[in-house]
Amino acid sequence: MHSGLSLTLLSVAILTVPIPAQPVPETFTLTVPDGLISSQSGSSVSLLCQVSPIFNIKPFEVQWYRSDDVNKPTLLYMDHKIQEALMDPRFRGRVSLTGGLERGNASLRLERVTLEDSGEFVCYIASNKWYEKAHVVLAVSGDSKGFTVTQVLLVVLPVFLVIIICALCFIVFKRKGFKCSSLHTSRKHTGAENTVQMSTKQTASDEEDNLKDWLLGKRFRAEHITMDKETASTAISVTHHGKRVNYIKAKDTVDHQSYHVLGNKGFDSGQHYWKVKVNEYANKEKLAWYLGVTRENAKCPLT
Ligand SMILES: *[C@@H]1O[C@H](CO)[C@@H](O)[C@H](O)[C@H]1NC(C)=O
């Protein structure tokens, strides 16, 4: 009973005795990870560096530098503080010691990693009696190896739209093709009224039958063309809803000049026909009428 109590007292005494600070060893080693430390551009990374045995390295000098740039440390800790002014400006504001120097942890925390940060870093720790250094290699890769769905859509959608728009434009322009088919009249002699009539009614004449035979078996489309008043020369009158065209001797008309009127319809493909009836009048003044097609860009009225 008595010995048990003294044992309890002893154990309490041991627990309350303050743990003495670890003595600073004469020498130490550094532990760093083997192999590459990989990181993605834009993220943060820790380059681990730990002293062994564990002891407080706050009074020591801790330096991180790139092995290819010894003169400008990435991070310099000296006289109990980080010496910003002596550090490489490329790392300023991006580096810190986060592991706890009092626990012998000299790990470097690097924020907003860039591709240029890749390379070999040296962890260097020195007391006035001893120093040690170790190498850590950092490999930074681009921030996105594959394309995200959004990126793909952003590239593919505009291309797709452009293709569709081009296709539509192509179709529309092809449709328009040649727009103004024209009835083109050329007046060779001065004379009385003369009429060109766009025939829509079937008249049982021999010519009509011949035409029918000729058209038989051919994929010609019968067209009902009307004349566009707006395109008529001053010596041309357009009546009967564009179905009839007369030559009128206007005051300002000049002899040996051509007068024109354009049709309302145009085609861009296929074979078409339309019938034109030329009426000669009583005085038999001979006029020549020319029929033809123009390109869509023909000036209306023609001059
Ligand atoms: C040292 O600190 C780093 C960064 O905080 C931490 O990731 C690492 O685990 C620490 N090392 C040890 C041995 O405690």
| Cβ of residue 49 lying under 6 Å from some atom of ligand 1 | no
The pLDDT of residue 12: 43
Residue 70 lies in a domain: yes
Whether 31 and 138 share a structural domain: yes
Q: What is the pLDDT averaged over residues 89-97?
A: 94
pLDDT top residue among 173 and 28:
28
Q: What is the pLDDT averaged over residues 272-301?
A: 68
Q: What is the pLDDT averaged over residues 255-262?
A: 71
Q: What is the pLDDT averaged over residues 13-29?
A: 65
pLDDT top residue among 214 and 228:
228
For residue 273, what are the β-bridge partners? Answer: 222
The pLDDT of residue 244: 86
Whether 256 and 191 share a structural domain: yes
Residue 173 lies in a domain: no
Split at pLDDT 50, 70, 90, the class of 281 is low
Q: What is the pLDDT averaged over residues 212-229?
A: 76
In the three-class reduction of DSSP (H, G, I as helix; E, B as strand; rest coil), residue 171 is classed as helix
Q: Among 29, 32, 44, 48, which is best to mutate for testing ligand 1, by the most ligand atoms less than 8 A from CB?
A: 48
Q: What is the pLDDT averaged over residues 197-210?
A: 58
| Cβ of residue 63 lying under 6 Å from some atom of ligand 1 | no
| Cβ of residue 226 lying under 6 Å from some atom of ligand 1 | no
Using DSSP bridges, classify how beta strands 81-82 and 50-52 pair: parallel, antiparallel or unpaired: unpaired
Q: Which ligand 1 atom is nearest residue 105's CA? A: 1
Residue 276 lies in a domain: yes
**Whole-number Å distance between alpha carbons of 123 and 287:** 107
Q: What is the pLDDT averaged over residues 225-239?
A: 84
**Whole-number Å distance between alpha carbons of 120 and 136:** 6
**pTM (predicted TM-score):** 0.46
Q: Taking Cα atoms as reference points, which of 197, 293, 301 lies closest to residue 257?
A: 301
Q: Separation of 93 CA from ligand 1 center, angstroms?
A: 20
Last residue of a domain, one of 120, 144, 168: 144
Whether 140 and 211 share a structural domain: no
- Residue 242 pLDDT more than 60? yes
CATH number for the domain harbouring residue 97: 2.60.40.10
Query: Which of 41-50, 256-265, 284-293 has the highest mean predicted lDDT (pLDDT)?
Result: 41-50
The pLDDT of residue 217: 65
| Cβ of residue 96 lying under 6 Å from some atom of ligand 1 | no
- Rounded to 5 degrees, φ, ψ at 243 are -90, -20
Whether 50 and 136 share a structural domain: yes
3-state secondary structure 25-72: CCCCEEECCCCEEEEECCCCEEECCEEECCCCCCCCEEEEEECCECCC
Residue 47's Cβ-count burial label (10 Å; 0-12, 13-18, 19+) is: buried
Express as a percent the part of the chain with pLDDT over 90. Answer: 36
Number of domains in the chain: 2
Tokens of 269: 């493909």
Residue 164 lies in a domain: no
Alpha carbon nearest to ligand 1 atom 13, residue: 50
Taking only the tens place, the pLDDT of each residue in 43-83 is 999 999 999 999 999 999 999 999 988 889 999 999 999 99
| Cβ of residue 99 lying under 6 Å from some atom of ligand 1 | yes
Whether 138 and 28 share a structural domain: yes
The pLDDT of residue 175: 73
Q: Do you find a cis peptide bond into 59, omega within 30 degrees of 0?
A: no
Whether 56 and 126 share a structural domain: yes
Split at pLDDT 50, 70, 90, the class of 223 is confident
Taking only the tens place, the pLDDT of each residue in 115-171 is 999 999 999 999 888 999 999 999 999 865 556 677 778 888 999 999 999 999 898
Split at pLDDT 50, 70, 90, the class of 271 is confident
- Based on its alpha-carbon atoms, the radius of gyration of the chain, rounded to whole angstroms, reads 50
CB 82 within 8 A of CB 97: yes
Q: Do you find a cis peptide bond into 89, omega within 30 degrees of 0?
A: no
The pLDDT of residue 154: 87
Q: Taking Cα atoms as reference points, which of 119, 46, 45 lies closest to residue 88?
A: 119
Query: Which of 128-137, 182-191, 250-259 has the highest mean predicted lDDT (pLDDT)?
Result: 128-137
Q: Which ligand 1 atom is nearest residue 109's CA? A: 4
**Whole-number Å distance between alpha carbons of 114 and 118:** 8
3-state helix, strand, coil in the chain (%, to 5): 20, 30, 45
Mean pLDDT computed over every residue of the chain: 77
Q: Among 28, 31, 46, 102, which is best to mutate for testing ligand 1, by the most ligand atoms less than 8 A from CB?
A: 46
Residue 166 lies in a domain: no
Whether 62 and 133 share a structural domain: yes
Domain limits at 79?
23-144
Tokens of 195: 């009429």
| Cβ of residue 50 lying under 6 Å from some atom of ligand 1 | yes
CB 224 within 8 A of CB 198: yes
Whether 125 and 204 share a structural domain: no
Whether 125 and 206 share a structural domain: no
Alpha carbon nearest to ligand 1 atom 9, residue: 99
Express as a percent the part of the chain with pLDDT over 70. Answer: 69
The pLDDT of residue 184: 44
Q: How many residues in the chain?
A: 303
| Cβ of residue 182 lying under 6 Å from some atom of ligand 1 | no
Whether 111 and 184 share a structural domain: no
**Whole-number Å distance between alpha carbons of 27 and 126:** 10
Residue 150 lies in a domain: no
